[in-house]
Chains A and B, each alone.
Chain A
Amino acid sequence: MSVPALISPRRLAWSRRGRALRVAWTDLRRTRTGIAGLLVLALFALIAIFAPLIANEEALSAVNAVDNPRYAAPSEFPPIGTDNLGRPVWDQIVFGARISLLVGLAATAIAMVIGTLVGVCAGFFGGWVDAVLGRLSEWFLVIPFIPLAIVLAAILGPSLRNIIFVIGITSWSVTALVIRSQVLTLKQRLYVERSRALGASGAHVMARHILPGVMPLVLANTTLTVPIAILSETTLAFLGLGDPQQISWGSMLDDAFAAGALSAEAWWYYVPPGVCVVLVVLSFSLVGRALETILDPRLRDRRR
């Protein structure tokens, strides 16, 4: 008679999570759009990480560009041409990727931490905590985001840190509401009840059962929040609220517009940054929608 090998509950939980992750990965690989999005994102991540290898940071400052032709077309100044100061557009795109992705990811990280905390607390504690936090999330949901971000950024002053903070603090509410409703259903699960009956503390239940339960949802929401954060950065930078010391895709569009690239018909200056934004935003939303579909099979029928 064979005795089943003794596994600690923790090992068991981790092996289960590992299996769930592998299943999700297999599902994701089957969605063509999701995998296409992942590939594009990987490409941009590589560009951002290896920026110093494929572009020249020195070329970003106007002082080093005085000898270059101004508004040179791609044919005259490969690969993409130059801007109104003679700076190569290619180097700006490559280093701009760093700032745009950094702002998008960091702001999303802030939003996810706030959203998860608010959502878990509201759903878990219920009662007046839920009433207050729920109201707060709804308030942040109806306050128009761009004007709020503009006022905040104008008061705090333009800097990279502030723009990340402003976008993060204004984009957590959807996540909080989604997480809250997930926590409400998790709370009713039998294993949570069992754990409670065995005398587990609230903190234990929250850390061991609730948080791991909402993590997949947090992941899906992350991939859906990053594109919005990147679009917000682009808009805020275009309105002149970005860090003046840093080049991002949004600030390139601001510079191009202010320098009159539109009437100069220097399309190589203002088309590439926009294309990059569209590619990254689209890829993130494709991956996010694919993840959402995997997590919520009810959506499957609707999406395909």
Chain B
Amino acid sequence: MSARFVVGKVLGAAATLAFVVVFNFFLFRIVSGDPVATLFRGRNLTDAQRDRLTQEFGLDGSIWEQFFRYLEQTVQLNFGRSYTTNQPVVGEIWEAAPATIALVGVSAILAMALGLVAGVVSAWHRGTWKDTSLTSGSMVTWSMPDFWLGMLLLTWLAVGLGLFPTGGISDPGAGGGFSGLLDQVHHMALPALTLTLAYFGEYALVMRSSLLDTMREDYLVLARAKGLRDVEVRNRHAVRNALLPSVTLIAINFGFVLSGAIAVETVFSWPGLGLLTYDSIRGPDLPMLQGLFLFFSASVILFNLAAELVYPVLDPRVRR
């Protein structure tokens, strides 16, 4: 992997990020006319309040002045203060992020493992009942709104059978140490199960079609002709090569799944970025929503970059 390739990819990602930052600026200004009036429709504002809000939104001065002030603040990671708590947006996002990253990380890894195995099984046994049931199962879970799946699991396993807590991240009375950790795992089980089921279908379908493509390659015929056992042909020759598209998909998805958990976190009142987003919509708490938007975008771009950089390491064929 040449340095030029890496620099090119990093610059591309930086350009995308810059576009998102600029886009975020104009997003706020596409509101026709006076954003302050539009956002506080129906509410009476005194002139003093209006001036204060205009200043707070950074809407005073010419558009260029506004733009450069915005850029300066963004570089300093200053996205303003939340309307509801009056705390800096960055701090709130920082506090909520670990819960989301833990939940999404666990679910994404589980979904990946299950999805890849399911994809391999259904491709290797194409046309059998195993394939049919796994493929239709993947398509059905893909078609479900993820939060609705969460609602079903919540009522069945938590409300109905009482196996799991109905929400939150820990019991107030839970102690520290190992029992505290166990309590958090117990709380995470249902939202993690929901997200795992919701993501698993896509991985399974991609792995299946990629393995089916690989299965037509000549080197598999050769491997069989050498007299290798079926398992060896599958694991050492077919799966290894078919993994590549799935790995890319997984890396790219890691960024997307962070924001995909918004509605699911809401269902389980999991105190992460999703619940923060949900609470901010009610206001609407615009500085918070914009900060979250930038955060989610940046994470997608970073994971995308990581995927592009890792890909040539995994696949010598695209190495330049």
**A→B interface (CB under 8 Å):** 138-139, 142-148, 150-152, 154-157, 227, 231, 234-235, 238-241, 250, 253, 257, 262-263, 265, 267, 270-271, 273-274, 277-278, 281-282, 285-286, 301-304
- Chain A nearest Cβ from B276, distance in angstroms: 11
A selection of 16 A-B contacts at a CB cut-off of 8 Å is A142-B16, A144-B258, A147-B296, A148-B297, A150-B262, A151-B27, A155-B30, A234-B148, A235-B262, A241-B281, A267-B155, A274-B148, A277-B148, A282-B140, A285-B139, A301-B216
Q: Given contacts A142-B301, A144-B300, A282-B139, are A155 and B151 in contact (CB under 8 A)?
A: no
Q: Given contacts A142-B16, A257-B151, are A265 and B143 in contact (CB under 8 A)?
A: no
Chain B 252-266 residues near chain A, CB threshold 8 A: 255-256, 258-260, 262-263, 266
Tell me, yes or no, whether B293 is within 8 Å of chain A by CB: yes
- Chain B nearest Cβ from A59, distance in angstroms: 24
Categorize the interface residue count of chain B.
35 or more
B154 touching A262 by the CB < 8 A rule? yes
Q: Mark B226-268, 1 if CB is under 8 A from A, else 0.
A: 0000000000000000000000000000011011101100110
- Chain B nearest Cβ from A156, distance in angstroms: 7
- Chain A nearest Cβ from B235, distance in angstroms: 21
A277 touching B19 by the CB < 8 A rule? no
**B→A interface (CB under 8 Å):** 16, 19-20, 23, 27-28, 30-31, 38-39, 41, 127, 139-140, 142-148, 151-152, 154-155, 159-160, 166, 209, 212-213, 216, 255-256, 258-260, 262-263, 266-267, 277-278, 281-282, 284, 286, 289-290, 292-293, 296-297, 300-301, 304
B297 touching A301 by the CB < 8 A rule? no
Contact residues in A for B286 (Cβ distance below 8 Å): 151, 154-155
- Chain A nearest Cβ from B23, distance in angstroms: 8
- Chain B nearest Cβ from A239, distance in angstroms: 6
- Chain A nearest Cβ from B134, distance in angstroms: 14
- Chain B nearest Cβ from A255, distance in angstroms: 12
A155 touching B31 by the CB < 8 A rule? yes
Contact residues in B for A302 (Cβ distance below 8 Å): 209, 212-213
How long is the Cα–Cα vector from A110 to B291 in the complex, in angstroms?
28
Contact residues in A for B277 (Cβ distance below 8 Å): 147, 150, 239
- Chain A nearest Cβ from B49, distance in angstroms: 20
